[in-house]
Each structure stands twice: as C-alpha cells, then as structure tokens.
Amino acid sequence: MSAFQRPCRRAGGPCARTFSFNSGDGEWRCHGEWALPFNGQGYYDGDLDAWVGLEKDGHIGTCRVVSRSSTAVGALAMQQQLDWKMAKDKLWSEGQQAVDHGPTLTAMGNARFCLLDCVKGMESHGRMLRVTTFRLRHSRKGELEIYDRSTRSCPVSKHLRCFSPVAFWM
C-alpha cells in the first residue's frame, strides 16, 4: 500500500488530503484532510508498522498514524498525533541533484527500500544514475536507523536532454 498527498481548494483556503492505494482492491481511499509529514509518495511498511517517506532535505522518516478520524476536529488532532521519526543520516544532498525531479523511493518489503536518483557527474555536463538500497529499523531508544546500505552508480549520456529515472518494485 502506498500513499500520497493531493492539494485541494476550499472556501477557507488550501488544504491537504492523504490517500492510500490498496493494490489488492485497486482502489484509492481518502483518509482525511491532513497530510503525512513527508514530501510526495510514501509507503506503509508492516515490519516498521509505519509509513515511510522522504524529506526534501535528503532525510528519510517514518510516521506512525495513531488515529483514523477524518472529521475537521479529527484532522487537527491527526496532525498532532503523527509520530514522526527522522533518520540522522542523509540519503542524498540537494547540491548533488542534477535534475528538477527529486529522488524516487521504492519499498521492497521487509523494511528494505531503494532510492533512485540522477546526480551530477564528474564532467561539467555529465550525470550519474545512483541506486541506493538500504534497510530501516528503530533502535532501542526508538530512533530511526539506516543500515545495510549499498550505493552503485553508472554514467548517463550527457546527450540526453531529459532523464528522470523512476524506481519500482514488483
């Protein structure tokens, strides 16, 4: 199951909504007018019992959702009840990114993830496709830790005007 945020317009101004997609049923479900605290798409991981997502600054985090209320009062309470933990280590640096599109996170199951990004290469116009696989766990102190991390890179032709990699797992 994965989730994303969709902006909406109301008379009182913009709001955020969180949806999840159940691949077994093939249906989207709105969980309410509140947003998970990460940027873009996130994934639920049963081993962590939490949603996993990326921050714009290169950190990865987990979020345990306490309540499933979708009322207006529930939306405010939901924002206050999100248990957000961020790993200390960054997975990437904004200065390294070569394209406007940020990295793509993909869940591989059992708290394993893959991060795919296109970064600046050694040459002035060159790019590198970087693939990072890693696992997440919560320490005894409850802190989020990245471990079993491996990164591989390969060059991307500098003659491609647009290259926006997307990772997926089947």
Beta bridge partners of 151: 132
Instruction: Report pLDDT digits (tens) over 25-79.
Output: 888 888 777 777 787 778 889 999 999 998 877 889 998 865 555 455 555 555 5
- pLDDT value at 106 more than 50: yes
At 13, phi and psi to the nearest 5? 120, -175
Q: What was the pLDDT predicted at 23?
A: 80
Q: What was the pLDDT predicted at 96?
A: 63
Q: How many angstroms separate the CA atoms of 153 and 134, rounded?
A: 15
Q: How many angstroms separate the CA atoms of 40 and 35, rounded?
A: 10
Q: What was the pLDDT predicted at 114?
A: 93
Reference 64, options 42, 47, 48, 40; nearest CA is 48
Q: How far is CA 4 from the centre of its chain?
A: 9
The residue-averaged pLDDT of 84-95 equals 80
Q: How far is CA 170 from the centre of its chain?
A: 18
Of residues 81 and 111, more confidently modeled: 111
Q: How many angstroms separate the CA atoms of 31 and 40, rounded?
A: 16
- pLDDT value at 1 more than 50: no
**This prediction's pTM:** 0.74
How is the chain split into domains, by residue range? 2-156
8 Å CB contact between 61 and 87: yes
Cα-Cα-Cα-Cα torsion 76, 80, 86, 92, nearest 10 degrees, comes to 20
